[in-house]
Structure 1
Amino acid sequence: MTYSKFLAGLVIFSAFGFLLWAGGYAYMSTPMTQPGRAIEVTINPGWNFARISQLLEDQGVIDAAWKFRLLARVKQKTGSVQAGEFRLHSGWSPEKILQTLVSGRAILYTFSIPEGLPWWEVATNAGETPLTTRERFAAALADKAFLDSWDIPTDHAEGFLFPETYFLPRPGGNDPYPLLRAMFRQFWDVAKNQLWPEGLPDSAEIVRTVTLASLVEKETALPEERARVAGVFANRLERGMRLQCDPTVIYGIGPEFDGNLRRSDLQNATNPYNTYRHAGLPPGPICSPGLGALQATLHPEDHEYLYFVATQNGGHHFSRTLREHNRAVRRYQLGQ
């Protein structure tokens, strides 16, 4: 081969290489359509890149699966795509689409749990999201092996579904456990860092605190009253008095409660949560208490009050004696 032919071949090869580079760069940076549209895509665990690329082409995110596979090979990202549900856009460049899939920025769904909900209301709310179903969530709450793996010291998750706003991707198969893991993780984070920073107490004390805090949570919605209500319960327990807490009776009735608490309900000794008939704390928490109620339970107000009754302004009147309490009941409940 003469030098001139070699030089000519080198020029042709270089030109071809440049065209390939230019074409590849143009593909990486050029959206399929403009302005494009948002497209939600679900990538299941275990899918290979060929299947993912074909899905993107079929749903109109990219124009050619083979080009997208070539791009991923060049970038060495064929094994880095995350499973999940993604909100992509046909107006994005293939490079941005690949970056989104690799980064794992999946669609996150919001689930908010307010303080004071019993487990069946939490389950209903969870079932109204794309994260799980009510039935699967409810069943998981009593999964003892799962509870033990998270050091939940009871046979049911009631009380440990920490009230918070959670952001999670949609799990496959309506799996309830990712949401429960997030709730338990939040509970233990709060317990270790804010409630007992010097070290967790034993399981019995944790259950006692959560149970009593759940009563405080249900009895008052006013932050400034929580420690005072906790002090009333502490005083009654110390004196051996029954707690006589309406919310515990209602919890024992369950989801069938019609909103009307009757005298017969207060006299029903078959209800294990009836603190009018049974001394001490109920068998377990009656809702998921928030941080404020938990802190109030650990640091109750030091006072001599033994009774309280709701007033018309959303708060409570606190009394030291039964005679004073009966006067408050006549005034605030009977209008006398």
Structure 2
Amino acid sequence: MARFRRYILIVTVLLAVLAGLGAGGYRWYKAWQEDKFLTTPPETPGREILFRVEPGQIFTTIAANLKAEGLITDTRRFYGLAVRTGKGSAVRAGVFRLSTGWVPERVLTELTSSSGVLRRVSVREGLTWWQTGGIIEEAGLGDAKGFAAAVADPALLAAHGIEARDAEGYLFPETYLLTPPKDHPSRHMAEVMIREFLKNAQKVWPQGLPPFEELHRTVILASLVEKETGDVTERARIAGVFRNRLKKHMLMQCDPTVIYGLGPNFDGNLRKSDLQDRDNPYNTYVHPGLPPGPICSPGLDSLLAAAHPEEHGYLYFVAKGDGSHQFSKTLEEHNRAVRRYQIRRDRSNYRSTRQ
């Protein structure tokens, strides 16, 4: 009996030892798998892959997509890595340039700390919406046709409080650096530019935007100022000229408005017949007051000038050929300035903007 008991005890101890060895071995195997996951890239050498994270996409979906692309080998362990490092909710939406030759931590760092693949587009002041659409298409941030549809979309305009037929004047000129969304990139670009306008408008009206009718008139005036001068120091003065002409019910007689009304097919030659065309609603040589809408995208300086015109008695201005203008209070003074700076000008060194 005693011998049997010793036998049972020995077997029990052996089983316990084996169990301990098995558990330890299993833990070692799991630790080895974890270490291998963390330190071994999926492929060597790696392949570059453009990986997109959609706005609002949950982490488990992102991890599954990473595995499907061959960028990680284990979704559960990748999720565990994100939890341990506190980055589970820090993944950004966008397009990222990743590699199958990276270890998981580098993939996670790229998704949570970089801005992804960004495209750059510079839209200068004074462009029309169709010129802007062409630039956006060249930059790969949309297409001109989609942009044309977006800027005239009643739903988009209403969403931003623009009570006009299109977003002309409200597409703020700026250098944009962003990742285009997979769907409707042209519309996204239009919305980004409108939001940028509204942000900058707060600098013009820090106490809050005025009613839309007043806002729209200011944007129209600012677009005329933008097209008439590249000299920031003169913009408030030119805005004052336009305001004085409006007060006296004088025709604005602004060439850029006529050109805008001729549309994208304008050939660069403004003819006398164009200045007499009553069918052009933007012809301020025959139609009194401001044109029916903005004629370009004005920058912040022109918006500030239009909102705060200079107080003076000038009613006319003419380009002097050095980028500045000669201002006059009477028609007689203006005619003398025209003869001096336009009719008798030296065409060899004449320029419309300061250098």
TM-score of the superposed pair, with normalisation by structure 1? 0.88
Q: Which residue of 1 aligns with 2:5?
A: none
For 2:69, what is the secondary structure of its paired residue? helix
Aligned partners of 2:182 and 2:23: how far apart in 1? 49
CA deviation digits over 1:197-222, x for unaligned, max 9?
11221110000000000000000001
For 2:317, what is the secondary structure of its paired residue? strand
Aligned partners of 1:159 and 1:38: how far apart in 2? 41
Is 1:127 equivalent to 2:137 in the alignment?
yes
TM-score of the superposed pair, with normalisation by structure 2? 0.84
CA contact (8 A) 1:274 1:282 kept: yes
Aligned partners of 1:111 and 1:50: how far apart in 2? 32
The amino acid that maps onto 2:290 is: L
CA deviation digits over 1:31-52, x for unaligned, max 9?
3567756432345687945761
Q: Which residue of 1 aligns with 2:280?
A: 271
How many percent of aligned residue pairs carry the same amino acid? 47
Aligned partners of 1:105 and 1:234: how far apart in 2? 45
Aligned partners of 1:172 and 1:49: how far apart in 2? 16
Is 1:319 equivalent to 2:328 in the alignment?
yes
CA deviation digits over 1:220-277, x for unaligned, max 9?
0011110111111111111111111110000001111111111111111111101111
Is 1:52 equivalent to 2:65 in the alignment?
yes
CA deviation digits over 1:57-104, x for unaligned, max 9?
2xxxx4xx5x23232343467x96666421113442122213434668
Aligned partners of 1:140 and 1:74: how far apart in 2? 42
The amino acid that maps onto 2:174 is: E
Is 1:208 equivalent to 2:217 in the alignment?
yes
Q: Which residue of 2 aligns with 1:249?
A: 258
For 2:318, what is the secondary structure of its paired residue? strand
CA deviation digits over 1:4-45, x for unaligned, max 9?
431342233223312321331232133356775643234568
Q: Which residue of 2 aligns with 1:305?
A: 314
CA deviation digits over 1:263-315, x for unaligned, max 9?
11111111110111111000000001010000011111111111111112111
Is 1:69 equivalent to 2:75 in the alignment?
yes
Aligned partners of 2:24 and 2:188: how far apart in 1? 53
Q: Which residue of 2 aligns with 1:288?
A: 297
Q: Relative to 1, partners in 2 of residues 1:221 and 1:50: Cα closer, same or farther, differing over 3 Å?
A: closer
Is 1:98 equivalent to 2:111 in the alignment?
no
Give 1 or 2 for the bigger CA radius of gyration: 2
Give the one of 147, 150, 154 matched to 2:160.
150
Q: 1:184-263 alignment to 2 at 5 Å?
A: 184-192=194-202, 194-263=203-272
Q: Which residue of 2 aligns with 1:139?
A: 149
Aligned residues: 328
The amino acid that maps onto 2:106 is: K
For 2:183, what is the secondary structure of its paired residue? helix
Q: Which residue of 1 aligns with 2:187?
A: 177
CA contact (8 A) 1:85 1:106 kept: yes
The amino acid that maps onto 1:87 is: R
Listed as ranges, the gaps of 5+ residues in structure 2 are 1-10, 346-355
Aligned partners of 2:47 and 2:234: how far apart in 1? 52
Listed as ranges, the gaps of 5+ residues in structure 1 are none
